[in-house]
């Protein structure tokens, strides 16, 4: 039982358990505790997450999860051949009127002051290599399918659509290359604590928890672009006012540099939605999941021209004053 781990190794007696999203958390003496399995997480990553968490907490982020030391003073415990850490949070109710853009800018500004070295979780400057590796992997799958009749409808859709998305990916890689050559770095462009995939719901949980296991070190444009991407696919009709509000809030604390804008655009140019859909399809054995992903891909392909229009008009929609290069064929 998870509660046994808290009591045996941390001397914490839980009063109750509560479900927040897909995560079970435990309440003790007015504090929230989360048990995280880390058997397959490298020690260097855990150390970096600990350093990030402590840094944010010490710089007045009261919503961040902090690592808890066990009775022996160690943060990592082994129970029945599985490794665990425990995270602690104070109770904070969500402010329904909160300004996500402003909160994210404040979060990034705190993260930029991090002094501890981060190597394993550092994604800054690695986008091109990561995208190229992901593209190569998908191209191998595609090459293996084109020489045989499609077994499923998804295979047919993937075979026909991949060359187009390969082109988008190559454009995104080239756009980052050009940005690095053309633009000067500004204060905004310092590396900071970001999220693997930032989206609006991440900070909307009932108890407003900021989990370090969601984090990486990267350029702040990562979170900005992923928020925009998520909002586009959830509600493209209200994207323009939603994005304007979010960007206004963010830039009221931290104006985005030309270099930053171009990285935001490059990430939106990279067709992450397509890659995730295809990768999940070929990595699952669930029939219902495959059916859902096939429907998702059909929708993406149907709305391709809408996404092209969004990319074509992005800088204008975002209110960018400086003239920045667009992708010509769009």
pLDDT in tens, 4-31: 899 999 999 988 888 877 788 899 998 9
Residues 229 and 167 in one domain: yes
Task: Write down which residue in 92, 111, 141 finishes a domain.
Answer: 92
> Which class for 290: exposed (0-12), middle (13-18), buried (19 or more C-beta within 10 A)?
middle
Does any domain span residue 86? yes
Total domains present in the chain: 2
**Same domain for 82 and 151?**
no
Asked whether the beta carbons of 221 and 265 are under 8 A apart, the reply is no
Q: Are 250 and 105 in contact (CB under 8 A)?
A: yes
- Residue after which a domain boundary falls, among 92, 115, 143: 92
Where residue 80 falls (left for φ over 0; alpha for ψ -120 to 50; beta otherwise) is: left
Q: Quick one: 280 and 181 in the same domain?
A: yes
Counting Cα atoms < 13 Å in the Cβ hemisphere of 56 gives 28
Query: Is residue 174 included in any domain, yes or no?
Result: yes
Cα–Cα distance, 193 to 59 (Å, whole number):
13
166 and 28 part of one domain: no
In-domain check, residue 69: yes
pTM (2 d.p.): 0.94
Let me know if residue 83 belongs to a domain: yes
pLDDT digits (tens, 9 = 90+) for 109-155: 999 999 999 999 999 999 999 999 999 999 999 999 998 888 999 99
pLDDT at position 91, please? 81
pLDDT at 267 over 70: yes
What's the CA gap between 75 and 72, in Å, rounded? 9
Per-residue pLDDT tens digits for 187-223: 999 999 999 999 988 887 656 789 999 999 999 999 9
Domain carrying residue 182: 127-317
Does 177 lie in the same domain as 264? yes
On whether both 138 and 272 belong to a single domain, the answer is: yes
pLDDT at 20: 75
In a domain, 101, yes or no: no
181 plus 289 within the same structural domain: yes
Structure tokens at 154: 């998804």
Cα first-last separation, the chain: 55
The answer to whether residues 151 and 288 belong to one domain is yes
Same domain, 287 and 148: yes
- Partners of 17 in the β-ladder: 26
Tell me how far apart the alpha carbons of residues 272 and 229 are, in angstroms, rounded to a whole number. 9
Residue 106 within a domain: no
Tell me how far apart the alpha carbons of residues 101 and 244 are, in angstroms, rounded to a whole number: 10
Asked whether residue 104 is assigned to any structural domain, the reply reads no
Specify the CATH number for the domain of residue 240. 3.90.1200.10
Are 305 and 171 contained in the same domain?
yes
Q: Residue 18: its pLDDT value, please?
A: 85
Same domain, 132 and 232: yes
For residue 53, the domain's CATH number is: 3.30.200.20
**What's the token pair of residue 106?**
């404040």
Please name every residue paired with 217 in a beta bridge, in sequence order, or none if there are none. 122, 193
| 67 and 213 share one domain | no
What is the three-class DSSP state of 137? helix
The 10s digit of each residue's pLDDT in 60-82 is 999 999 999 999 999 999 999 99
Instruction: Decide if 215 is inside a domain.
Output: yes
């Amino acid at each position: 039982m998870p509660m046994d781990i808290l009591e045996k190794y941390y001397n914490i007696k839980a009063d109750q358990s509560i479900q927040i999203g897909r995560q079970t958390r435990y309440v003790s003496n007015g504090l929230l505790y989360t048990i995280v399995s880390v058997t397959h997480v490298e020690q260097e990553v855990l150390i970096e997450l600990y350093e990030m968490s402590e840094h944010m907490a010490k710089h007045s982020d009261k919503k961040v999860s902090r690592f808890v030391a066990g009775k022996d003073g160690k943060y990592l415990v082994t129970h029945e051949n599985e490794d665990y850490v425990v995270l602690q949070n104070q109770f904070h109710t969500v402010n329904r009127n909160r300004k996500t853009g402003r909160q994210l800018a404040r979060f990034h500004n705190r993260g930029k002051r991090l002094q501890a070295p981060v190597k394993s979780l550092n994604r800054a400057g690695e986008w091109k290599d990561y995208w190229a590796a992901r593209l190569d992997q998908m191209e191998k799958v595609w090459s293996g399918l084109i020489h045989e009749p499609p077994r499923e409808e998804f295979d047919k859709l993937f075979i026909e659509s991949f060359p187009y998305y390969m082109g988008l990916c190559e454009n995104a890689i080239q756009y980052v290359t050009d940005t690095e050559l053309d633009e000067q770095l500004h204060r905004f462009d310092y590396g900071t604590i970001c999220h693997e995939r930032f989206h609006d719901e991440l900070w909307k949980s009932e108890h407003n928890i900021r989990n370090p296991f969601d984090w990486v070190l990267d350029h702040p444009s990562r979170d900005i672009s992923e928020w925009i991407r998520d909002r586009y696919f959830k509600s493209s009709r209200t994207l323009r006012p939603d994005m304007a509000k979010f960007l206004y809030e963010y830039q009221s604390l931290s104006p985005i540099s030309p270099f930053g804008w171009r990285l935001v655009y490059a990430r939106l140019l990279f067709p992450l939605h397509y890659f995730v859909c295809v990768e999940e399809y070929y990595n699952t054995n669930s029939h219902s999941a495959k059916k859902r992903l096939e429907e998702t891909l059909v929708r993406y392909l149907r709305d391709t021209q809408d996404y092209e229009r969004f990319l074509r008009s992005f800088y204008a929609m975002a209110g960018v004053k400086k003239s920045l290069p667009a992708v010509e064929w769009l």
